[in-house]
Structure 1
Amino acid sequence: MSFQNPWLLLVAAIIVAGLGFAYHRLQRKRTNALAAAGLTPANPRRAGLRRHLPPLLFLAALGFLLVGLARPQATVPVPRASGTVVLAFDVSNSMAAKDIAPARLAAAQAAAIEFVKAQPDTVDIGVVAFGQGAQTTQLPSNDHVSTIAAINRLTIAGGTSLGQAILGSLTVITGQPASVAEDAPPTDLGYWPSATIVLLSDGEDTGGPDPVAAAELAATAGVHIETIGIGTVNGSIIEVDGFQVATSLNEELLAEIAETTTGSYHRAEDAQSLGAIYKSLDLRITLEDEFIELTSVIVAIAVLLLTVGALLMINWFGRIL
């Protein structure tokens, strides 16, 4: 704890000590005068409590008020959602399937927008769209209005590369290219424990790099991945370039990606459950120091002491002073 006007503490101590000493001298003279007159209370302990307690409460209240003038303040750790979240959307052709109404991608967009609206400005949110490659459509920012606009702009096209989705998201988080090439040493991305990738996909992977290897790179960087399976196990039929193609949810791969980074896999078989999943996502909770002024608390204690002292005076003596 610190004080904006610490010198007032010395003033408070002098005033309270002086009033306490004066009260003691006054009571001593009063006791001596009563004793000289041959007057003594029948129950000295009870009489002393009644006589001294209210004034002492008033004196303590004065002390708290004077301390309040010194403007006490403190820095306390406050838990809150914080860090960076990258929403990685699968925009491949299979996300046009309508096994989740109105369609997989549309349902994911609607639920994601509600998720963004619910986040405090301490959470920076970015958007990555991935098909065969990954494209950053919104850098992580606390400008959630721009994030929502980026989500609304997503359109469907091409195949699916979950590995590219993870690497693209890591690049956005760390600010440096992420890769898992077999003929190159692992990329050193640093350590980002406050970052989370939310991967929204039906799990159908149609091209490299290896998504599990990419997840291992994320785990090394301290980034955990929450995967959300969009679609149903039974799947649906979509039309691509005049051909009918069957598409279904690949839960095994999505679960493996999440587990590699100590994240969790969530299945969303309809729009309602998808919205519930967003509310339960395991985002990083950090302790952030928050500066607070304690003057109001100190004054409240002083008012409480004054009130108690006044009530005791009225109850015992029928008056306040």
Structure 2
Amino acid sequence: MSELSLTWPWALAGLLVVPVLVVLYKRGLRAQEARRAALAADGLVMRAPPRSRWRHLGAALLLAALTVLVLSLTRPVASVAEPHREGTVVLAFDVSGSMAATDVKPSRLEAAKAAARAFVAKQPPSVRIAVVAFGGTGLVTQRPTDDRAAVLAAVARLKPSGDTSLSDGILGGLSAIVGKPVKPPGDTEQGAGSGTSEETPIGYHGGTAIVLLTDGEDTTDVAPSGAAELASAAGVRIEPIGLGTPAGTTIQVDGFSIATALDETSLRAVAETTGGTYRRASDAASLTAVYDSIELQWTTRTVPHEVTSWVAALAGLLLLGGATVSVLRQGRVI
């Protein structure tokens, strides 16, 4: 449905000429008939043939053209509901040491960064993007913005090191969406031993998603289930992307060889809790395809469009039609 408004409604005063023209047209017809009747009585012309119900068609079309032309002078604006994608997407990168593994070339983290750049380039301006880096803690490195250069700069700065906390990665994504730090569910606000705890009120944020880019190896004792439930209650969908291979590989950390492999169990549970979809990216090409499959919210917004040219074009068609009919019937336009 579209709504019509007029930029210059005062131009409607021009419609006052329409009834005047109708009166003049009828008066002209009566005068013409009277003159023809007088000439017929003197035998100078034949009596008028039977009247056709289409004899006023040309005049009616010309009058309609004038009416529509006056309407075009008001500069009508149609408000049309247009579908578009909007919302906020948080790219939450696991930057733990295991993301330096090369079972995804050139490395898990570098492949994720390359695909992220392609993903950012494809998003419309109505989609805001944030960047979160999480290892042992979650850090918002770029708040939600439509500045693509700022997002790409934040992605470029990411480097692997440290441990992995999936819970902190999710909470970091929620913090970026909410605009303030989000604490874990049941986190104590009054200090140790107070016996009281409060959950951070974060509200509802439909149309948002956290893309969790990680190998799933959680090195903490805090399960991500609580943070996932908090995200679900806030209407935030989590789309985990598993980086690496189940077979895994080894990395060198401080001279030690450490085995690392993709752990999908927690990632599948997080996706199921929030209504997202877990996807595995075993190489750079599949990672790019995974990014492309992420669905953002479609909504509609009312956009005003001036339709003066369309209305004027309709007036021109009516004018052409009226002139054609008049010339065919009586050899002249008026």
1:196 offset after TM fit, Å?
1.6
Measure the CA separation in 2 of the matches of 1:104 and 1:316: 81
Measure the CA separation in 2 of the matches of 1:263 and 1:229: 13
Matched, 1:251 2:264: yes
List per-residue Cα deviations over 1:6-59 (Å, max 9, x = no partner): 1221x13212222233223333444555566354446x44xx42x432332222
1:1-321 → structure 2 map (5 Å cutoff): 1-9=4-12, 11-31=13-33, 33-34=35-36, 37=40, 38-41=46-49, 44-45=51-52, 48-49=53-54, 51-182=55-186, 184-312=197-325
List per-residue Cα deviations over 1:90-118 (Å, max 9, x = no partner): 11122222222222111111111111111
1:233 offset after TM fit, Å?
2.9
With the length of structure 1 as denominator, give the TM-score of the two structures.
0.88
Q: Please tell me the residue identity of whatever aligns with 2:92.
A: A
**In the comparison of the two structures, how many residue pairs are matched?**
316
Measure the CA separation in 2 of the matches of 1:310 and 1:95: 76
Measure the CA separation in 2 of the matches of 1:172 and 1:195: 11
Contact between 1:84 and 1:140, CA under 8 Å: does it hold in 2?
yes
Q: 1:234 to 1:52 in 2, by over 3 A?
A: farther
Aligned with 1:88: secondary structure?
strand
1:291 offset after TM fit, Å?
2.6
Q: Please tell me the residue identity of whatever aligns with 1:194.
A: G
Greater shift, 137-146 or 263-272, is seen at: 263-272
Greater shift, 240-249 or 306-315, is seen at: 306-315
Contact between 1:163 and 1:208, CA under 8 Å: does it hold in 2?
no
Aligned with 2:296: secondary structure?
coil
Measure the CA separation in 2 of the matches of 1:297 and 1:275: 43
Measure the CA separation in 2 of the matches of 1:192 and 1:162: 21
Q: Please tell me the residue identity of whatever aligns with 1:238.
A: I
Contact between 1:180 and 1:209, CA under 8 Å: does it hold in 2?
no
Identity of aligned residues (%): 47
Contact between 1:127 and 1:138, CA under 8 Å: does it hold in 2?
yes
1:316 offset after TM fit, Å?
6.1
Q: Please tell me the residue identity of whatever aligns with 1:214.
A: A
Greater shift, 124-133 or 233-242, is seen at: 233-242
Greater shift, 86-95 or 265-274, is seen at: 265-274
Which stretches in structure 2 are left out of the alignment for 5+ residues? 41-45, 189-196
Measure the CA separation in 2 of the matches of 1:308 and 1:249: 72
Measure the CA separation in 2 of the matches of 1:149 and 1:130: 17
Q: 1:268 to 1:316 in 2, by over 3 A?
A: farther
The equivalent residue for 2:192 is none
Aligned with 2:56: secondary structure?
helix
Aligned with 1:237: secondary structure?
strand
1:141 offset after TM fit, Å?
0.9
Q: Which has the larger radius of gyration?
A: 2
Aligned with 2:269: secondary structure?
helix
Greater shift, 266-275 or 216-225, is seen at: 266-275
1:245 offset after TM fit, Å?
2.5
Q: 1:309 to 1:204 in 2, by over 3 A?
A: farther
Measure the CA separation in 2 of the matches of 1:168 and 1:265: 19
Greater shift, 239-248 or 252-261, is seen at: 239-248
Q: 1:24 to 1:187 in 2, by over 3 A?
A: same
With the length of structure 2 as denominator, give the TM-score of the two structures.
0.85
Measure the CA separation in 2 of the matches of 1:164 and 1:309: 73
Q: Please tell me the residue identity of whatever aligns with 1:15.
A: V
Measure the CA separation in 1 of the matches of 2:19 and 2:247: 81
Contact between 2:185 and 2:230, CA under 8 Å: does it hold in 1?
no
